[in-house]
Amino acid sequence: MTRADVIIIGSGIGGATLAAVLAPSGRRILILERGERLTPSSWDRDPNAIFADGRFRPDETWQDGEGKLFSPGNYYCVGGNSKFYGAALIRYRAEDFEPRQHMGGQSPGWPIRYEELEADYQAAETLYNVRGVTSEDPTEPPHSGDYPYPPVPDEPDIADLRLRLQRTGLTPSSVPLGVDIDRWLAHGQTTWDAYPNTCGGKMDAETNALAQALLHSNVELQTGAAVQRLITSDEGRVSGVEVEGRGTFEAPLIALAAGAVQSTVLLLKSANENCPTGLANRSDQVGRNFMNHNCSAVLAIHPLRRNRSVYQKTLMFNDYYNAAGNGVLPLGNIQMLGKITGPILASQTNLPGPIAALIANRSFDFYAMSEDLPNRDSRVTVGGQQICLDWKRSNWQAHEALVARLKKHLRQAGFPIVLSRPFDRRTPSHQCGTARMGTDPSLSVVDTHCRSHDHRNLFIVDASVLPTSAAVNPALTIAALALRAGRHIIETEFAA
C-alpha cells in the first residue's frame, strides 16, 4: 500500500489505538513502524540481559542541555514502549484537568474537562482489558461503568502490606492493570515491569489495539519503516511522508504517533520554505513544555521478614495526590514497583550479587511519582541528526515531600530500613508535552481533538499533546485521546 487514506506513524499506544477505532470505517489505513515485532527469545525473562546489558535498548544517544550525551532508554518496536511498560492503566484524576497550585508553580489545566473524556476512558479500559475496582480509592474520578475485569489479586505478602499501610492511616487501593496474570506467569515467574511482552500476557498496544485493527483487511502494518520527514503542499496540507529506503507514501490524512520526542523531531526536521521552523510550529511551541515525571524508587526493608512476592505491583495509594492535609499542596502518587530481584538491584547499584540478593529478598519496592510542570524552556531540539533534550525538572520540592511522607509511613508499618533513589534522565518516566493541546493557536500545537492548528489534515495522537503530566501513568489517557481523535476523524473527515 503506497497510497492510503490515512497514514499513522508509530504503533505505540496512541497510533495503535487510533488504528483500532478507524479500522471499521473501511478506509485504507497504513501504519508505519520504524522497529520490528518482538519475538520470543532466551532474554525475555533474563534480568541480567534486560537490566545490566540493556539487550532491548536501542543504540542511540541524545544530548542534554549541557551538551552531555546519554542513553534515553526508549524502545523502538511494534507496540512501542508499551511492550515494556508496567501496564498501570490509571485515569488522570478529575482535578488534573483543572488549573491548580503546586509547590513548584501553577499547573495550567486542560482545555477540556474530565467529563468530556470519561466515555473515552471507559472505552479505552475495555479495549485494554483493564483489571481494577472503582470503590477503593477516594480520588478515583466518576466512572460511567465498571472495569471490565476484577483487580489482579494481591500476593500474600502484599495483602499483609496492605493491612500494615491501612493501620498507619493510609488508603491503599488496587492498581488498574492491563495484565492477564495467569498467561504472564505461565511463561516465567517474574514481574512485568521492563520485561518485554512476547507471550501476550501484557495488554499492550500490539497485543490489544493493533491486533484488533489488523483483523480488518483495509489495515496494513509496515515494519522497519523509518519516516525521515513529512511533506507539505504549497497549500499547507501534509501530503505524504518520506520513508528511508522505500520512497514516498501519500495520504490525505496523516497521524503522528512516534512519541513525545520523536514526533517533535519529525516535525522539526520537516521544515521547508513555507514552514521554516518546522511543521505545525507557527506558535513556536513544538518541542517546548517537555515534561517527565519526578520519580524515585523507595525500598522498605526488614532484615527478618522476606518478601516472597513474584510480581508485587497490585497496590497504590493516593492519599497525598490532591492535598496532603494541613494546608500542604498536592504531592503525587505512590504505587508498587515490579518486584526488584538481586540481579536487578545489582545492575542498578553495583552491589555484589549476594548482598543485592539479600536486600532484594527482604524489600518491598515502591514507586513515588510527582507532577512535572510545563515550562517553555524545557524542550526538545534537533541539530543536524543530533537530538537534544534540555529537561528543566520542576516541582522537586513536592517530590521530596512525597518521598519523606512515604518513608515515615513505611517505618510506622514496621520497616526499620527505608532507602530511596531518584530516577534520572536515563530512565524515561512518561515523557510528554512537546506538542501541547490548546484552544489558542498561538500557544499550542493541536486543538482539543488532536488536530494540528496549522495543518488541518495532520493529527498528533501520542503523549506529545498532554498539556500537563499529572502524577499518574499516562498510557490510558493517551489511549482515550486517540479514541476521541478517531471519532472526530470519522465524523468530520470520513462523513462525506
Reduce the secondary structure of 325-389 to three states and give it as a string. Answer: ECCECCCCEEEECCCCCHHHHHHHHCCCHHHHHHHHCCEEEEEEEECCCCCCCCEEEEECCEEEE
pLDDT given at position 425:
65
**Beta pairing partners, 364:** 300
Instruction: Give CA–CA dist 69/64, Å, rounded.
Output: 6
The pTM of the whole model exceeds 0.95:
yes
Partners of 36 in beta bridges: 77
d(CA 74, CA 34): 13
pLDDT averaged per 10 residues, the chain (length 496):
88 98 97 97 94 90 92 92 97 97 95 98 98 97 97 98 97 98 96 95 98 98 97 90 95 97 97 94 97 96 95 97 76 97 92 94 97 97 94 95 97 97 78 97 98 97 98 98 98 85
Cell of 156: 500474600
199 contacts: CB under 8 Å, gap ≥ 6: 40, 44, 183, 184, 186, 187
- How far apart, in whole angstroms, are the C-alpha atoms of residue 10 and residue 34? 7
- What distance in Å separates the CA atoms of residue 358 and residue 345, rounded to the nearest whole number? 10
**Residue 250: DSSP 8-state:** E
Collapse the DSSP code of 59 into the 3-class scheme (helix H, G, I; strand E, B; otherwise coil) and give the result. coil
Task: Give the integer Cα–Cα distance in Å for 244 and 232.
Answer: 17
Tell me which residue of 462, 403, 405 sits closest to 432, measured CA to CA: 462
CA–CA dist 488, 46 (Å, integer): 43
Measured in degrees and rounded to the nearest 5, phi and psi for residue 332 equal 140, -165
20: which residues sit within 8 A by CB, 6+ positions away? Answer: 127, 208, 209, 210, 212, 213, 486
Q: What is the pLDDT of residue 324?
A: 54
- Which residues, in sequence order, are bridge partners of residue 379? 390
DSSP 137-193: -TTPPP-SS--SBPPPPPPHHHHHHHHHHHHTT---EEPPB-B-HHHHHTT-S---T
**Separation in Å, CA 383 to CA 63, 84, 270, 387:** 10, 29, 13, 7
